Amino acid sequence: MKKKFECVFEEKAKDGQPTLLSEIYTELYITEGGTGGVNDEHEVRQIETASKKRLTEDTTVKCNDIFKPLCGRETPIRTVLTKGVAGIGKTVSVQKFILDWVDGKANQDVHFIFALPFRDLNLIKDEYSLIELLHHFIPDLKSVESTELFRYKVLFIFDGLDECRLDFHNNESWFDVTKKTSLDVLLTNLIKGNLLPSALLWITSRPPAANQIPPKCIDQVTEIRGFSDAQKEEYFRRRFSDQSLASRIMTHVKSSRSLFIMCHIPVFCWISATVLERLFSETDRGEIPRTLTEMYTHFLIFQTSLKNDKYMKNSETKLKEHSKKFLLKLGKLAFYNLEKGNLIFYEQDLTENDINVSEASVYSGVCTEVFKEEHGLYQEKVYCFVHLSIQEYLAALYVFLSNSSADLLKTAVDQVLKSKNGHLDLYLRFLLGLSTDSSKTLLQRLLGETRTSSHDIKETAQYIKEKIQDNLSPERTINLFHCLNELGDNSLVEEVQRYLNSGSLSAEDLSPAQWSALAFVLLMSDEKLDVFDLKKFIRSYKEHWRLLPVVKTSRTALLDSCNLTEKCCEMLASALRSNSSPLRELDLSNNDLQDSGVMLLSAGLGNSHCKLGILRLYSWNLTEKCCEALASALRSNSSHLRELDLSDNDLQDSGVKLLSTELANPHCKLEILRLYSCNLTDKCYEVLASALRSNSSHLRELDLSDNDLQDSGVKLLSTELANPHCKLKILRSVCNLTDKCCEVLASALRTNSSHLRELDLSDNDLQDSGVKLLSAGLGDSQCKLGILSVDHSGECRNRPGLQKYSCQLTLDPNTANRRLSLSGGNRKVTWGAEQPYPDHPERFDRCTQVLCRESLTGRCYWEAEWDGYGAHIGVTYKGIERKGWSDCRLGNNDKSWCLYCDPDSYSVCHNNKQTVIPIVPSGSHRVGVYLDWGAGALSFYRVSSDGLTPLYSFTSSFTELLYPGFGVFINSSVSL
């Protein structure tokens, strides 16, 4: 067994020496992979997305530890499914696992390992019993009684599930290891646990085939993500004894972002090492490859030269003609099987394409023969391209050499753009790359004099740019930029880089294609994006959707108040379904996406790949119709959602009842639910109360503010607060309450089983009698409550919406700049003649600004109306600078947040970062400001006869009391 697995396919044919796995092996990045869901993106796109993901976001697993339960899990693991794209290192991981077992380094509790690759199992046509199957693969086992064999701990390794189709739905159950049946029935019953339930199973697969196996049959899923950035460097250092050569190669690979990303795939590291080692050692090495097409062409030149040097000593012309004919045959095989997704070929396939089998085996770096001579079924021959990208390159080479049409490239672009999952994306990159002059020169070295059609590169590039202007899917658009890179045209990207470097972005400056280029720049940046705030980039609502692909590579996406459409929800759902996306927090508040948008998002939330933990859908014009889809996502076993904000939507009792039912579902992991102002009544409380008393509910925080729940509803809820199963720690309830509910609440607070730590009853008419009852409950030794808010009791409770949080503000004369005069009871400030104010340390000496006397915390709302040339309206910590200009201005520092208003536009600013808001004042100069200090939210609204129009929302962790402040332009005024 050691002899079989100690060598790895690393081409050293020139000296006839195989490469030992122990010499070349670099630890791969393996993570817990969630569930066995489907990801139908092109595998290179998956790699590109994964390259932006932080390593700390995943639970890592060492190759030898895949059968050890992960932290927090106690049940033993029988079956492990390991996923990974082609060439990522699945088979090498299997080899390493077996080799370490053979050498006594790991997993010594396992007595037998049976490695049965699917590509070999596929060759079985007759019926076998499980015992007979093992005898075919391992004849030495015939001497061991089957009853004796299965007393030991046995591990089956099935490598390459994607090379086999299993029928788990229709196959009959099978329990006898000695009775014959089809291979399909044997394997499905072995995986289900009907056969040898005590045996361990390890199955590897490419992602698209992973869903063949029902999730209930899998105990643990892992994913091989290839090399991390550090592991890429380690690979090249281990690959070459000459460390200066390794450094030069690594430096070159890093200089091209597309090459560096591809090096996540170990096979591509090998290809790069093969090519660059030779080129850097040659005296006249010519151009070093900078594109994927150039790299693969050089690789092919190297492999064919190895074959020619070793086997053919004839004239160079004959050799190249022979190579051309053979490569065209291989390319034809590659092209016509590309759409079918075939990676494995048998002798019949090669014969049908007039490929000489013995000749194919010589091309070791292009078409590999998996051939085991020891015994039995291994004597059959199987062929494959060493990586899917090799097959795509050869397919492109075949089309490029055999098609003389002048419109070949444009036709190919159109054809590939019709693909939904992008399975021809890399093929198109190669096809376009082969049309450049540099590639044609390389092809002359590879094939000799070859007639190829002439293609106008500039015309093709322009055609692609026109396509980028269209409303394509983000994935197709991003691939077109890769295509432009292969053509050597980076003009769009360079233009956007200039705008970014200058700090100037405006709607007039950027065309639709340039907006897509901006997305490409952000995606290809080597900086990992923590927070993507769309409002920092948009200047127009026409093209902002083109930036949404960036969401897939960010951890937090702030898309609130961006006027998104239902089309955007389809793109966002795609991001949620991406297995490699690091997205954990998504804020979509203040967008009119309605129920249809939520239904699209919910499909993504329920996907097994989705890891989203926080979703904010505040003020979406939602109704109860969307709640069924959200409820379905919450009860999904794979849902990771911990926080859901549905505030300010017309969900009504029927919608919340649907959601509440799922809170008691053991699969639902929701801990925070915000239902502020959702048009609820006391009718929904019974279902909410039922969920809270459920032992399986994870709910810790519930916001029911601004709903007409009344005393009867709170009484129902209070009963459940005393239930030992209720885990609620924070409750906010501004719901037309009176002192009648306080006795039941106080009783709940006194119970030892209540977990409540914070209770907000602000803006309810509790009166003194109710507050006394609650205070008595607080004084009880059993009470765990730490925060009780009862301020403004009854004062504003009947006002609609945010008005109930209205606060009375007055301007502080001691802070006013001398150019500002106060009037109207210190509620109006006007720019004008200098005032004789006395010196004061808190006065703004140069900035024409003034602060309010009142400090703010909790929830507050106020309005201000400006007149004249404009004004600044914001909030600040008290410690803002008062002397000077730049650091004192509202919004120009990390102590203040501000809305800038003038007759033509709005913009916001914090920490000297300004964002233009694509909404015009439209005649209304009144602004509403809502602060929820505890939630870290500050929102600005345009106030008009039509109501409140959201302008912008800041999200921050406030650490001090905030003071409203105003900056007044020349000949202007602001009134509270």
Q: Is 365 part of a structural domain of the chain?
A: yes
Residue 511: other Cβ atoms inside 10 A = 15
Least confident span in 226-240, 393-407, 786-800, 812-826: 786-800
As a whole-number percent, the residues of the chain with pLDDT over 70 amount to 86
- The pLDDT confidence band at residue 944, using thresholds 50, 70 and 90, is confident
- Residue 522 included in any domain: no
Coil, helix or strand at residue 728: coil
Paired strand residues for 915: 908
Residue 897 belongs to domain with CATH number: 2.60.120.920
User: Which one is predicted more confidently, 43 or 347?
Assistant: 347
Question: Mean pLDDT over all residues of the chain?
Answer: 82
Q: Tell me what pLDDT residue 370 has.
A: 30
Question: If you average pLDDT over residues 269-291, what whole number do you get?
Answer: 81
433 shares a domain with 310: yes
What is the pTM for the complete model shown? Answer: 0.68
The residue that leads in pLDDT, 160 or 799, is 160
Residues 280 and 311 occupy one common structural domain: no
User: Does residue 175 register a pLDDT over 80?
Assistant: yes
The answer to whether residue 541 sits within a structural domain is no
Distance CA 488, CA 290 (A): 10
Amino acid at 269: C
Same domain? 272 vs 307 = no
Q: So what's the pLDDT on residue 244?
A: 92
pLDDT at position 622: 86
Q: Are residues 199 and 259 in the same domain?
A: no
Q: Which residue has the higher pLDDT, 949 or 810?
A: 810
pLDDT at 47: 65
CA dihedral 249, 251, 254, 259 (to 10 degrees): -20
Q: Which of 97, 90, 98 is nearest to 266 (CA)?
A: 90
Among 455, 478, 498, the domain-final residue is 455
The full 3-state SS of 227-280, as one line of letters, equals: CCHHHHHHHHHHHCCCHHHHHHHHHHHHHCHHHHHHCCCHHHHHHHHHHHHHHH
- The pLDDT assigned to 810 comes to 94
Rounded Cα distance, 260 and 247, in Å: 14
Q: What is the pLDDT of residue 817?
A: 94
Over residues 660-688, the mean pLDDT reads 87
Q: What is the pLDDT of residues 884-929, one digit of tens each?
A: 888 899 999 999 999 999 988 899 999 888 888 878 887 789 999 9
**Predicted confidence band of residue 35 (pLDDT cuts 50, 70, 90):** very low
Mean pLDDT of 486-511: 75
User: Residue 564's domain spans which residues?
Assistant: 559-679
Percent of the chain with pLDDT over 90: 29
- Closest of 440, 462, 456 to residue 407, by C-alpha: 456
Of the candidates 600, 593, 544, which has an alpha carbon nearest to the alpha carbon of residue 575?
A: 600
Question: Looking at the domain assignment, is residue 523 inside a domain?
Answer: no
In Å, what is the CA distance from 134 to each residue of 111, 149, 153, 177, 288? 15, 11, 15, 11, 50
Domain boundary among the residues 679, 711, 735 is at 679
**Model confidence at 946, in pLDDT bands (50, 70, 90)?**
confident
Neighbours of 116 (CB within 10 A): 17
How many angstroms separate the CA atoms of 342 and 481, rounded? 27
Cβ burial 78-111 (10 Å sphere, 16+ → b, else e): bbbbbbbbbbbbbbbbbbbbbbbbeeeebbeeee
Evaluate if residue 225 carries a pLDDT over 90: no
Instruction: For residue 506, name the pLDDT band (cuts at 50, 70, 90).
Output: low
Please report which confidence band the pLDDT of residue 375 belongs to, taking 50, 70 and 90 as the band edges.
Answer: very low
Non-local CB neighbours of 433 within 8 Å, separated by 6+ positions: 291, 292, 293, 294, 439, 486, 487
Per-residue pLDDT, averaged over 498-526, amounts to 73
* pLDDT (average), residues 755-769: 78
CA–CA separation, 759 and 766 (whole Å): 14
Asked if residue 610 is part of any domain, the answer here is yes
Domain contains 535:
no
Same domain, 284 and 331: no
Residue 538 belongs to a domain: no
Query: Are 345 and 419 within one domain?
Result: yes
Looking at the structure, tell me whether residues 447 and 593 fall in a common domain: no
Task: Give the SS3 label for residue 333.
Answer: helix
3-state DSSP assignment of residue 953 = strand
Average pLDDT over residues 853-879: 92
Confidence of residue 434 (pLDDT cuts 50, 70, 90): very high
Q: Does pLDDT of 798 surpass 50? A: no
> What is the structure's pLDDT at 685?
77
Q: What is the mean pLDDT of residues 780-800?
A: 63
Q: Within this chain, do residues 868 and 782 fall inside the same structural domain, yes or no?
A: no
Mean pLDDT of 474-481: 85
pLDDT digits (tens, 9 = 90+) for 55-105: 445 677 888 888 988 765 667 899 999 988 777 888 888 988 999 999 999
Single out the residue of 482, 426, 554 nearest to residue 44, CA to CA: 426
Q: Where residue 10 falls among pLDDT bands split at 50, 70, 90?
A: very low
- Between residues 527 and 751, the one the model is more confident about: 751
Average confidence (pLDDT) over 292-303: 88
Say whether both 706 and 612 belong to one domain: no
| Number of domain units in the chain | 6
Q: Which residues contact 576 (CB under 8 A, 6 or more apart)?
A: 583, 601, 604, 605, 607, 609, 610, 612
CB-count exposure of residue 914 (10 Å: 0-12, 13-18, 19+): middle
Q: Is 901 exposed, middle or buried (0-12, 13-18, 19+ CB in 10 A)?
A: buried
Backbone angles phi, psi at 929, to 5 degrees: -125, 125
Domain assignment present for 821: yes
Rounded to the nearest 10 degrees, what angle do helices 491-502 and 474-486 cross at? 110
- State the pLDDT at residue 966: 96
Q: What are phi and psi of 184, to 5 degrees?
A: -60, -45
- Which pLDDT score is estimated for 513? 84
Q: What average pLDDT does the segment 171-188 reach?
A: 92
In tens, the pLDDT along 697-715 reads 899 999 988 787 777 877 7
Which strand (E) or helix (H) includes residue 631? Answer: helix 627-634
DSSP secondary-structure letter at 802? G
The pLDDT confidence band at residue 777, using thresholds 50, 70 and 90, is: confident
Res 384 pLDDT > 60: yes
Within this chain, do residues 27 and 119 fall inside the same structural domain, yes or no?
yes
Which of 422, 438, 455 represents a domain boundary (last residue)? 455
Given this model, what pLDDT does residue 369 score? 37
Structure confidence by residue, pLDDT tens digits, 126-135: 899 999 998 8
Q: Is 513 helix (H, G, I), strand (E, B) or coil?
A: helix
Domain check: are 96 and 179 in the same one? yes
Over the Cα atoms of the chain, what is R_g? 34
Same domain, 423 and 385: yes
